[in-house]
Structure 1
């Protein structure tokens, strides 16, 4: 998913060219491709991603014009990268990619193959809304070459879904997960959101039971964040709903971790649990481990060799720039050595394997030792050369990052 606001940065070249230094190590690091589908049937109250409903777009853009633009951007990417590596991972996110249907998503993957080619054993994921899926949809995905599906469940409690403005029925996500597995999709994820106003411990327990009953091998669980500019933020500001409480969010996180761990799904990133190493999301691991990726689509972000850039947000502007033979990039930034060091701490510390101590400077090592005494980092792991968050440290991960940077 892509946030609705873009950062400031330097102008991006119209031809999309990257500095030679950024291209020097291409292929030595994991290379992924993110595709942003900006279409949604309705807007969820908590969502601040770069998405558009039919009423918001009118006739200015369509899935067909978006797909034309996507093909052009992928061709541009292949030219910019010179001798591009085959893609290790593809992640189609949104928005609601399943609104494209299996044929539309097959066309997306065909465009990736034509521009880049897929590495042997590539992981290919699409997000899907349970309500826009069916057994036939999943069969089509499997035939097209998708290996992984991520379904937005959020909760099994109807009143929680109502607060979130989610339109699917409570049981549909579980049914969709079973359909995906029956169709031969190798890995299936369900997303949960915890801490919604009005959610009780028993509601979250029911959601966890439903997830486990679905037999998925991966679960992502996120605390509800009230983002400015959303319908949810306006309701909180008017006093219709309370702001999520930090202590409640911590309790809910511990409940999620305990329930999933007891069922054999182990955390490998602060918000992600998997039944095995093979079930981990390789695409997201590429982000967390500092890999390279090209983000294609309106508002998508990319990173190659220490250069980060982001596309214009509106689908019509995106398609128009590419039709003119120009890059859709709105701006970019070159990460300094210090920027890259801070980001490495921020991202790798979230992983169960942790961060190598040798990535820290001397003052940060001293802070890590203090964090062990405070119960935030694991002592034996630090002695072995890794900064690994404890259970308490995961609840305060952002604070630990600040201490180590």
Structure 2
């Protein structure tokens, strides 16, 4: 891929009107940097104490240009404000984010509007303000309730704050509240994870996401592993932890709908289902990714470069790619096979159907009314199952 020294110009976009359309807004600010995180985020020290007002003005300008680039009115079914730590913007800032979306797009009746939040930067007043602004869903980063696990992850919130924040969100009128968990942190025990799951459930949430810790190169945790200070968790232990989470949540009335996501009936994250189910979205903010028609693009990462591009009346696109039919097919299979509703065999090639039959015989996939669905064992090996079908 060509390395560009200036922002790229997007090719003409041809939206597929039959696909659901959402908007993702990336807020790049965090109070501190967690040791495991490789997201596009910046602390105040890294930005020289920059004021979020400049970001919010640039975001509004990008959304105006997004509406122009799409050239046809798109009804927005979902909005997801992620980060970073969106709750650092407070009620006023997050209201400005949603107002900017409404200014240039039409929200569908009953649209799902989510914001992520760090439990330590929330309060009953924040949740009341977000409900009044039009947010319908909150996603809280908890990760664990074990103090030593939080310390290893460099998380700054207190162990009991996330479920308390979830209860506050529910009291403010949020019907849909998610808690994120991470399992497999070095030093975590099975009992640590059980307590974390139980604590999340005590918050009265209707959705829980649980991800195995991935130790990325270039992060503080990655450097600790490389120096031999901590060791990654064994794959067999990760599998046992996944089964522990699944069993605990199913007994509490949750069911999986994607490999790493469980909800009560009706609590599924509709925005993420758009990603996994072939929808389109505009990604706004520094480093955000978008996908419309056959074009996928990503914005410049640094907030200053992002704002500068928009000040020059240019979309802040770092680069893009146009997906051919083969690549789009591969990604469609890869994503849909991770869903509980599975993948229709009609979309597979003859060779892929044959390899899928082998996975069925091996107990990794079930064939239900011409749809392939991961078995319990297959969910533990989801990436390998996808490779088997595609290769």
Q: CA deviation at 1:117?
A: 2.0
Find the residue that maps to 1:125 and give its secondary structure.
strand
Matches within 5 A, 1:170-249: 170-249=159-238
Find the residue that maps to 1:364 and give its secondary structure.
helix
The separation in 1 between residues aligned to 2:212 and 2:36, in whole angstroms, is: 12
Residue 4 of structure 1: aligned partner: none
**Deviations along 1:94-134, whole A, 9 cap, x unmatched?**
00000000111011000000010211100000000000000
Matches within 5 A, 1:335-350: 335-350=323-338
Q: Does 1:93 align with 2:43?
A: no
Asked if structure 1 preserves the Cα contact closer than 8 Å seen for 2:24 and 2:283, the reply is yes
Residue 147 of structure 2: aligned partner: 158
Asked if structure 2 preserves the Cα contact closer than 8 Å seen for 1:69 and 1:319, the reply is yes
Q: CA deviation at 1:194?
A: 0.2
Q: Given the alignment, which residue of 61, 67, 72 partners 1:78?
A: 67
Matches within 5 A, 1:237-386: 237-276=226-265, 278-379=266-367, 381=368, 384-386=369-371
Residue 130 of structure 2: aligned partner: 141
The separation in 2 between residues aligned to 1:83 and 1:221, in whole angstroms, is: 37
Q: CA deviation at 1:378?
A: 1.0
**Deviations along 1:301-343, whole A, 9 cap, x unmatched?**
0000111000000000000100110110010000010000000
Q: How many pairs align?
A: 390
Residue 374 of structure 2: aligned partner: 389
Find the residue that maps to 1:54 and give its secondary structure.
coil
Asked if structure 2 preserves the Cα contact closer than 8 Å seen for 1:89 and 1:123, the reply is yes
Cα RMSD for the two superposed structures: 1.4
Q: CA deviation at 1:19?
A: 2.9
Q: Given the alignment, which residue of 94, 116, 133 partners 1:105?
A: 94
Structure 1 gap segments, 5+ residues each: 1-7
The separation in 1 between residues aligned to 2:203 and 2:384, in whole angstroms, is: 35
Asked if structure 2 preserves the Cα contact closer than 8 Å seen for 1:9 and 1:332, the reply is no
Change (3 A) 1:42 1:13: closer
The separation in 2 between residues aligned to 1:213 and 1:231, in whole angstroms, is: 32
Q: CA deviation at 1:271?
A: 0.3
Structure 2 gap segments, 5+ residues each: none
Q: CA deviation at 1:10?
A: 8.2
Q: CA deviation at 1:283?
A: 0.2
Asked if structure 2 preserves the Cα contact closer than 8 Å seen for 1:101 and 1:137, the reply is yes
Residue 3 of structure 1: aligned partner: none
The separation in 1 between residues aligned to 2:276 and 2:6, in whole angstroms, is: 27
Find the residue that maps to 1:378 and give its secondary structure.
strand
Q: TM-score w.r.t. structure 1 length?
A: 0.94
**Deviations along 1:233-279, whole A, 9 cap, x unmatched?**
11111111111211111000000000000111000000000101x21
Asked if structure 1 preserves the Cα contact closer than 8 Å seen for 2:145 and 2:192, the reply is yes
The separation in 2 between residues aligned to 1:218 and 1:12, in whole angstroms, is: 42
Find the residue that maps to 1:243 and give its secondary structure.
coil
Asked if structure 2 preserves the Cα contact closer than 8 Å seen for 1:12 and 1:332, the reply is no
Asked if structure 2 preserves the Cα contact closer than 8 Å seen for 1:311 and 1:330, the reply is yes
Asked if structure 2 preserves the Cα contact closer than 8 Å seen for 1:42 and 1:53, the reply is yes
Change (3 A) 1:155 1:121: same
Residue 111 of structure 2: aligned partner: 122
Change (3 A) 1:232 1:12: closer
Find the residue that maps to 1:106 and give its secondary structure.
helix
Q: CA deviation at 1:62?
A: 2.8
| Structure 1 moving runs of 4+ over 2 Å | 8-20
Find the residue that maps to 2:229 and give its secondary structure.
coil
Asked if structure 2 preserves the Cα contact closer than 8 Å seen for 1:10 and 1:332, the reply is no
